[in-house]
A and B are shown apart, each in its own frame.
Chain A
Amino acid sequence: MANVISDETIEYVGILAKLDLSDDEKEQAKKDLEEMLDYIDELSELDTTGVEPMSHVFPVNNVFREDVVVNGDDSDNILKNAPEEKDNMFLVPKTFD
C-alpha cells in the first residue's frame, strides 16, 4: 500500500516542524515521507493487540528530586551565547504590531 502525501500535508508538517522548505525541498520531503511511511507500514503486519506501548525499557517512573538551585546565577555567561541581548535579557524580533 503506497502512501501519498499531499501538498497540504507537507505544508502542515512544515508548520509543526517550524521549517520553511523551498519548493524543491517540499517535493523531496514528500518523496522521503512516502518512502519511509511505506516502510514503516510493515509494522502493521504485527498484531499488537493488548501490548502496552513501551516508552521506557525499565519499570521506573516518577523520579523526583528536591527543586533546589545548585548551579548559581550564571546569567552573564549564558547571555554571551545570545544572538542579541538587552538589559540582561534575550532580545527577539517583535511578536506583534
Chain B
Amino acid sequence: MSDILSLTAVELAKAIKAGTYTAVDAMQAVLDQIDQTESTVHAYVTIDREKALAKAAQAQKKIESGELTGPLAGVPFAIKDNMCTEGMLTTCSSKILSNFVPTFSSEAVLNLEKAGAVIIGKTNMDEFAMGSTTETSYYGVTRNPRNTEHVPGGSSGGSAAAVAANECFAALGSDTGGSIRQPASYCGVVGLKPTYGTVSRYGLIAYGSSLDQIGPLCKDVTDCATILETIASHDPKDSTSMKREDTNFTEALVQDVKGLKIGIPKSYFGEGLQEDVKKAVLAVADKLKELGAEVEEFDLQHVKYAIPTYYTIADAEASSNLERFDGVKYGYRAQDAEELHRMYKKSRSEGFGPEVKRRIMLGSFVLSSGYYDAYYLKALRVKALIKKSFDDAFAKYDIILGPVAPTTAPKLGCSLSNPMQMYLGDIYTISVNLAGLPGISVPCGVDAKGLPIGVQLIGDCFAEKKLIRAAYTYEQAAKEVQ
C-alpha cells in the first residue's frame, strides 16, 4: 500500500480506473500518511476524515458505474484555506475567521469535485495570504517536509508541504505575488500561476483582487496541466474571468522545444542570488538549449520597481477587501463592545495578526485623500510600464527563464523580524502578477544543504501551453539523467 503514495495524481486516477486501487484505498493511504507526518509538518488547518472517506466511497461508485471517467476521478486533494468550501471551516489562517463555515464552495473547488476529485481538508497559509513563509498563520507554522528546520515558503506553504509530504496527491493554492510558485520551489514540487482570469476567483477570499489567481501545486508537470485544464473555466460570477477557448492544456505535454526562444533577464542573476540557485537555474537553460531551444540573455526593464509597485497596489486592495471583516455577519466578534463602531474596531484589532494590520495600514494610507495620486495612481502608472517591459520581451521571446526566489527555504523564525527583507525575496515572482502573466515553478535540483531549488518559466498572457511544453520537456530530460 505504501507505493500508492508514490503515484502522481494522474497515475493514481488511472490505477483506480484499472481497478488496481479504489478511491477509498487512496484516501485511506493519505490519511495514514497524515497520521505519520502531520504532527511534524502541520500542513493542514482542517482535516475532515469522515467526510473525505464518505466522498471517496461515493466517487468510487461513480467511477465503477462509468459516470466519472476523468483523469482526476477519485484523487484526494488538499485546498488552501482561503477558498470557500461548503460546510467545511474556512479560516484564511486568521483568528477573525476561526469559526466561519461557508454556505457555498468556490468555483475552482466545484470544478475539481465535478471531475471526481475528493477534498481531504484545508491547508495552512500565511494569514490572508500575506507572507512568504506560512509563519503568519494564527494556527501555527508549517514545516518544510524536505527539512523540518526550514519554512515551506508561502503563502500557500501548507499546500506545497502537503504535496511534498504525500499528505495529498495534489493541492490548490493561490498566487498574488508568488504564493504558489515560491512554496512549490521551496518544497520541491511543481506549481503554476495561470494567466489572470483563467481560473474563477469566485469563492476565493480576496487579498489583492487584481493580482490573485488560483492554481495547482502538484508532483509533476502532467498533473499540473491536467489540474489546470480541470479548474479553468469562464465564470459569469467573476467579472474578471476570461472566456478562453484554449484550455486543453494537456495537449501541450509534448517533448519538443526546438526553435523555442528563451530569454534570460540579466538582472535576475545579479547580487543577492544564492550561488547554488544560480547554477541550478542556468543548468536548466543549458539543458533546454541542448534540446533545441534558442537561449539568450537580455535586459528586462523596470525590474527594481516591481516590489514597491506591488506592495502599494496589493496593500491598497487588501485594505479595501478586508473592510468586510467587521464582526457582524460571520467570523470573530469582540466581546463587551457596547457600541457598533467600537465593536468593528475591537473585533478587527483582536482578530487580525500583525502582518495583516501592517498591510491594512499601508493600504489605507496610500488610498487616503492627499496621497492617492502620489502613491496609488503612481503605482498603477508604473504597473503599465512594467507590463510594457514584458510586452517588449515577449515580442522577442516565447518564454522568460529565471529563478523563483533568490535563496532556498530560510530557517524557521528568521524572516518575520524584518518584513522589508522578506518582501525583497519576492523580486522574481511579483512582476508576473502585476502583468497578469502565467508562471510555473519546476524543481531543478538541490543546494549544498539538500534544500530544493525551483526554476521559473514565465510566459506571455495565455501562453500556458508554451510553459507546459518547455517544463514537460525539461522534466522528462531530467528524469532520463537520473
Note whether A and B form a binding pair.
yes
Residues of B within 8 A of A51 (CB): 381, 384-385
A88 at the binding interface (Cβ < 8 Å) = no
B346 at the binding interface (Cβ < 8 Å) = yes
Are A54 and B387 touching (Cβ within 8 A)? yes
Contact (A39, B420) CB under 8 Å given A48-B385, A54-B380, A81-B330 = yes
Nearest neighbor of B381 in chain A, beta-carbon distance: A48
B365 at the binding interface (Cβ < 8 Å) = yes
**A-contacting residues, B307-345, CB 8 Å:** 307-309, 311-312, 319, 323, 326-333, 337-345
Q: Smallest distance from the beta carbon of B319 to chain A beta carbons, Å?
A: 6
Nearest neighbor of A29 in chain B, beta-carbon distance: B361
For chain A, the count of residues having a C-beta within 8 Å of the partner chain is: 50
Contact (A94, B338) CB under 8 Å given A44-B378, A48-B381, A82-B330 = yes
B259 at the binding interface (Cβ < 8 Å) = no
Interface extent on B, as a size class?
Answer: 35 or more
Q: What separation, in Å, do the CA atoms of A43 and B373 have in the docked complex?
A: 13
Instruction: Annotate B290-303 by CB proximity to A: 1 below 8 A, 0 otherwise.
Output: 00000000000010
Are A36 and B362 touching (Cβ within 8 A)? yes
Are A32 and B358 touching (Cβ within 8 A)? yes
Nearest neighbor of A75 in chain B, beta-carbon distance: B103
**Residue in B104, B343, B368, B378 whose CB lies within 8 Å of A43:** B378
**Residue in B323, B337, B348, B381 whose CB lies within 8 Å of A54:** B381
Are A92 and B345 touching (Cβ within 8 A)? no
Q: Smallest distance from the beta carbon of A73 to chain B beta carbons, Å?
A: 11
Q: Smallest distance from the beta carbon of B201 to chain A beta carbons, Å?
A: 13
Are B339 and A57 touching (Cβ within 8 A)? no
Which B residues form the contact surface with A (CB < 8 A)?
Answer: 99-101, 103-104, 196-197, 210, 236, 239-240, 242, 302, 304-305, 307-309, 311-312, 319, 323, 326-333, 337-346, 348-349, 352, 357-358, 360-368, 375, 377-385, 387, 419-420, 435-436, 461
